Structure 1
Amino acid sequence: MVGTFHGHAHNRMCQLDWHPQYIQGTGHTEGEGCEHIFAASNELARSTRHATSFHRHQAIEQHFAFWDADKYAALSKYLRTHFDEAIRAISSLTFELDIVKKEFNLIEDDFIRFHADERKYLADLKQPALHDQLLIRYTQILDELEVYRTEWDSAREAANNALSEVPTGNLQELAIAIKWSRVRVDTAYAKLQHAETHTSNMEMRLGIQPRWEISSEEYKRYKTEATMVKYRAALDDLERLVVMQLFELSKMAMSGTGRSSVGSFQ
């Protein structure tokens, strides 16, 4: 189970599996018992930071001894308070749930089905089919091949221009120009050959013959799909970052301040 304190930083699929809201029997438990203990023990840092090892252990031991005693003394009140809260929650939420069920013509099993349907939907979206992944990769390889072919053409053209710009009779500059032109052309050609080999291997694996043209319908289809894959990944990252930021603001009691801040700049 992932505690509610950290649950919002997890992706939706993880929340559906491990968030207390979707685990039967958790009730109002937030799953952050350790965080309560840590929050109370943080004050020990001031007094134990420069203490000796003996006094540090003594302070920590006394703190948790008093913690246990206080919690045990308040246990009856704690149980009674939470029992009353549970009774009130059951009464009010049952009434609200009955209204929702009546309005949308739902039964109890529908809520379980909604959870299962959402989980299945996200699981199916997790990764495209293997064949589609290879075709998406194939379009990316074709793009890389086109880039390397352009680089090779540019390298050859630059080499011809460099040789023509060398003054006649200047053998030293001519030798330097030939050297650098050869390096650039050889490097560009090696990249092009590697891309050609990679493309041919992928075509053999996928059984593609002849090679897709950049303007073909197949290429456009999987090029669009490749763009959508990047878009979905970016959208997931954006959602995660926004939720994490909102949760951090809520921890600092600053939630809801974004709108007023934006308005002050307008």
Structure 2
Amino acid sequence: MCQLENHPLYQSGFGNEDLETCERIFSSSNNMAPLICHTSEFHWKQFLDLHFNQWDVDKYLELSAVHYPNPHPAELERFKRSKDLTDNNFESWHREELEYLKRCAGESDTTSIAAQYIELLEKLNFTEATYGSVTQVPYLTYTPAKFTSTAGLNESTWQGTNAINAKYASALWKYQLQLNVVANFEQQHNIIDRWTPLHHEYINAREYTKHRVFIHAVEELEGLVVQQMFELSKVNLAKMGYKMRKHISKAISRRSAAICTALEQYNKLAPRQRPLCPKLDYAEVIGYSLLGEFSLLKHSCYEVLEKPWALPDNREMMMKYYKLQRSQEEITRLNVEIRRLQAWVDFDGEKMKVAAQGFRDLGSSELASKMESMYAERVHVNDFHRAQLQKIYEMPGYTGCRPIGDQPRVTGDGTGDKDEEDGDNDNDNGEAFRLGDTLDRVLLY
């Protein structure tokens, strides 16, 4: 339910953002742990600084690569035509699923009290039956062989008699204790007439209790599968030690056995549900942990598995629909980012070249040489971005602004060129000049 309410996929305006940027950065920095765990403070700071500098270089090189849009959703359109569906159907399915899970998130006080009362009554019936079976023991008969000449019953007969008496006393004590527990519960909740198996309330509460046990079985299965997924992800971590891999592998083996046991318990309870719940195998369970189907299994009453939003094909297409909606939002954002990237690459190399010349004029030849080296590398990367951006401009579905040919561009040989056409591009130039001034201040100070 939390996923349906708060996941970025269902939130308008997020685009394709999954809010996991920090997790990716932390995961990447974890690769440094084997290198710096025994180093001095200076060296581990140095290694981390080198790592994140390289991270910045790699991400700058990938700036234009992420701007390619997803393929046209022809599969979704074919599905909508075949099922006679519209976009409103997907929106309504999402709302219905969220409302249903909210209703099923918690049980009412009356239902909870009835379930607890049924559990106590069943325990009382069990203790009463146990006590009745003990009291039905036939009268004990003794033969002369069971007596001794001086001390009455012999030892073996005496021990058997004591065991029978102890069993009787234990059954009586448990029965009286459970009888008091039921009486106190009835007094606390104002239950005047004790329910019997013929009462309508007893029958309904017992059916609900069976479903409650099924819900607990599904939750246990879900927890085990999620834990195994985390352990499997840990096994794939780079540079993990051999002992840790062996430890996690053993944990996965134990978890697999526990999953099989929980799965067997689930498959025993599934046919008893109304309507019937499907039996699962191991492969399906792993898939459910990724698709979030456990909530539907837990709340299988009211024929929820027959709802349109519960059918696997419909759910898959609903996910694709929302991904398409977020992609449309991403295109709007990318139209802005592409424009900014174009302005940056057009002026980045020129400003670095001017900064290098400024250092040389001031007599700082070493700084000038370093800046020229950085300039040469940056020009190659910016040329790559220009080529990628040009491919984006030539795409049939591109809706953003295209560059107007009056901006100076630095090419790989260090020369600038200017398009012959002149145009009114005050907005582009203003943004480019702001970026250029920022770079100028960073480099010269």
Give the alignment's TM-score, normalised by structure 1: 0.67
C-alpha contact 1:145 1:195 (8 A) present in aligned 2: yes
Q: In 2, Cα distance between the equivalents of 1:128 and 1:62?
A: 56
2:52 to 52, 65, 68: 68
Name the structure 2 match of 1:164: 141
User: Aligned to 2:13, which of 11, 17, 25?
Assistant: 25
| TM-aligned CA deviation for residue 131 of structure 1 | 0.6
Residue of structure 1 in register with 2:101 after alignment: 122
Quickly say closer, same or farther: Cα 1:71–1:177, change in 2 above 3 A.
Answer: closer
How far the C-alpha of 1:242 sits from its partner, in A, is: 4.7
Looking at structure 1, the residues matched to 6 and 185 of structure 2 have their Cα atoms a distance apart, in angstroms, of 39
Kindly state the Cα deviation for residue 18 of structure 1 after the two structures are TM-superposed. Answer: 3.5
- Among 182, 207, 210, the alignment partner of 1:199 is 182
Most deviating of 241-250 and 17-26: 241-250
Partner of 1:155: 134
Deviation at 1:130, TM superposition (A): 0.9
The 1:92/1:63 distance shift into structure 2, 3 A limit, reads: farther
- Quote the Cα distance in structure 2 between the aligned partners of 1:192 and 1:25: 63
- 3-state secondary structure, aligned to 1:164: coil
- Aligned partner (choices 125, 129, 141) of residue 120 of structure 2: 141
Q: Contact 2:115 / 2:205 at 8 angstroms: preserved in 1?
A: yes
Determine which of 67, 75, 92 is the counterpart of 2:72.
92
Q: Give the number of aligned pairs.
A: 229
Q: By how many angstroms is 1:143 displaced?
A: 0.8
1:126 aligned partner, one-letter code:
A
Task: After TM superposition, give the deviation of residue 29 of structure 1 in Å.
Answer: 2.5
Compare CA radii of gyration and give the structure with the larger one. Answer: 2
C-alpha contact (below 8 Å) 1:203/1:209 kept by paired residues: yes
Question: Partner of 1:228 in structure 2?
Answer: 211
CA gap 1:131/1:122 in 2 versus in 1, 3 angstroms: same
Q: Which runs of 5+ in 1 are unaligned?
A: 1-12, 253-257, 260-266
Which whole-Å deviations, capped at 9, do the CAs of 1:214-266 have from their partners, x for residues lacking one?
Answer: 344432221111001111232244345456657876896xxxxx69xxxxxxx
Q: 2 CA distance for matches of 1:34 and 1:196?
A: 58
Letter of the structure 2 residue corresponding to residue 212 of structure 1: W
Quote the sequence identity (%).
25
Cα distance between partner residues in 2 of 1:73 and 1:155: 81
Structure 1 residues 209 and 43, CA, compared in 2 at 3 Å: closer, same or farther?
closer
Task: Name the amino acid aligned to 1:117.
Answer: E
The Cα of 1:155 is off from its aligned counterpart by: 3.1
Partner residue, 2:62: 78
Q: Is the 8 A contact 1:20 1:26 kept in 2?
A: yes
User: Would the aligned equivalents of 2:134 and 2:168 in 1 still touch at CA under 8 Å?
Assistant: yes
Q: How many Å separate the matches in 1 of 2:142 and 2:15?
A: 81
Report the CA distance between 1:150 and its aligned residue: 1.7
1-side partners of 2:225 and 2:35: how far apart?
Answer: 37
Q: Deviations over 1:50-88 (max 9, x none)?
A: x34x1xx33432232123323333454433332x23xx2
User: Alignment partner of 2:72: what SS?
Assistant: helix
Inter-partner Cα distance in structure 1 for 2:45 and 2:61: 25
Counterpart residue type for residue 65 of structure 1:
D
Give me the whole-angstrom Cα distance separating, in 1, the residues matched to 2:19 and 2:142: 74
Following the alignment from structure 2 to structure 1, what is the Cα–Cα distance between the partners of residues 15 and 43?
Answer: 35
**For 1:92, what is the secondary structure of its paired residue?**
coil
SS of the aligned residue for 2:212 comes to helix
Candidates 4, 29, 37, aligned match of 1:16 = 4
Shift in Å, 1:99: 6.9
Equivalent of 1:58, from 37, 42, 54?
42
| Alignment RMSD (CA, Å) | 3.6
Q: Which one-letter code corresponds to 1:219 in the other structure?
A: Y
Structure 2: unaligned runs, 5 residues or longer: 237-282, 285-445
Shift of 1:135: 1.0
Aligned match of 1:44:
32
Once residues 226 and 233 of structure 1 are traced to their aligned partners in structure 2, the CA distance between those partners, rounded to angstroms, is 11
1:212 matched to 2:200? The reply is no
Change (3 A) 1:246 1:46: closer
